[in-house]
Amino acid sequence: MGAPVDAILAWFAREGRALPWRESGASPWGILVSEVMLQQTPVSRVLPLWTAWMERWPTPGALAGATQADAVRAWGRLGYPRRAQRLWECAVAIEERFSGRVPSDQATLRDLPGIGEYTAAAVVAFAFGRRAVVLDTNVRRVLARIVAGTAAPAPHLTGAERALAAEVVPLDSATAATWNVAAMELGALVCTSRAPRCDACPASKWCRWLAQGRPVAASRRVASPWAGSDRQVRGRILALLRAASSPINVAGSSSLQDVEPGQLDRCIEGLVSDGLIHVSSAERGTHEL
């Protein structure tokens, strides 16, 4: 896949977005934070929060010196608040086990709280400039269309998909790191899931999916409705506690009276079980971050 890789790299050199975590002076910690924040979240939402977060906690030690509640509160409405919890735990581990220095190898990174296969590979590639196979949703879609000729990759990452991606990643470390971010960028801006701009794609003449007439995926997962979901209610509870200056009775809050009592209790219990909120007083039924 040499020619399309070269074309995508050239496109990225012209069209890649200037983002603070991509700047040459970005720290490994800043890059790690960006990768955690960008999970299932668009750049436009992450950018202001990442900037504020790094100003407040520019190092793992700075965040480790704060509380988990501080991290969850600062996470705001970015979504998936357990990421804030795990990022705080990760900072504590880096500070305690590695004297505040982000590890540079994938196996050690994966041993940190909240760091999975993708994030470990991304940090190795983008923070340390080493060859790694970085497979997020965007990269998987780009490879599925260009090489396999399918509209979307399989629901779950397969061994064959990993092997293909490893073959495509250039052998030179610096070029490999650039390829990973270039493929991600192409998937985010051009080879998008719902409205791909094939006329603007630098790899269009090699794309098997385009050559076959852009066949639709065999089946599509129907997204669960957001309104009224447990995830929405959990977010409302966290927003209520973030705004509170002292412990409050979440179950008795007037702003949550539209939520079914059973669902509200389930969401409160789930947040307590996840360690995102704490029981302040069992007698008064109050909670806090």
pLDDT in tens, the chain (289 residues): 789 999 999 999 999 999 999 999 999 999 999 999 999 899 999 999 999 999 999 999 999 999 999 999 999 888 888 899 999 999 999 999 999 999 999 999 999 999 999 999 999 999 999 999 999 999 999 999 999 999 999 888 889 899 999 999 999 999 999 999 999 999 999 999 999 999 999 999 999 999 999 998 765 555 567 778 888 888 888 888 888 888 888 888 888 888 887 788 888 888 888 888 888 877 777 888 8
Q: Which two tokens mark 120? A: 């470990």
- pTM of the prediction? 0.82
Which H or E element spans position 167?
A: helix 159-168
Q: Are 270 and 230 in contact (CB under 8 A)?
A: yes
Q: Identify whether 35 is a catalytic site residue.
A: yes
Q: What is the rounded distance in angstroms from the CA atom of residue 165 to the CA atom of residue 134? A: 8
How confident is the model at residue 75, as a pLDDT?
A: 93
How confident is the model at residue 244, as a pLDDT?
A: 86
Q: Which two tokens mark 63? A: 């965040």
Torsion angles phi and psi, residue 288, rounded to 5: -150, 165
Candidates 111, 68, 78, 122; CA nearest to 235 is 78
Q: Which two tokens mark 12? A: 């990225």
Helices (H), 20-116: 28-37, 43-56, 60-64, 68-75, 82-98, 106-110
How confident is the model at residue 105, as a pLDDT?
A: 94
Q: What is the rounded distance in angstroms from the CA atom of residue 46 to the CA atom of residue 35? A: 10
Instruction: For the chain, give the number of residues.
Output: 289
- DSSP letter for 281, please: E
From 15, 23, 35, 260, active-site residue? 35
Torsion angles phi and psi, residue 177, rounded to 5: -65, -40
Give residues with Cβ within 8 angstroms of 74, minimum separation 6: 49, 52, 53, 56, 84
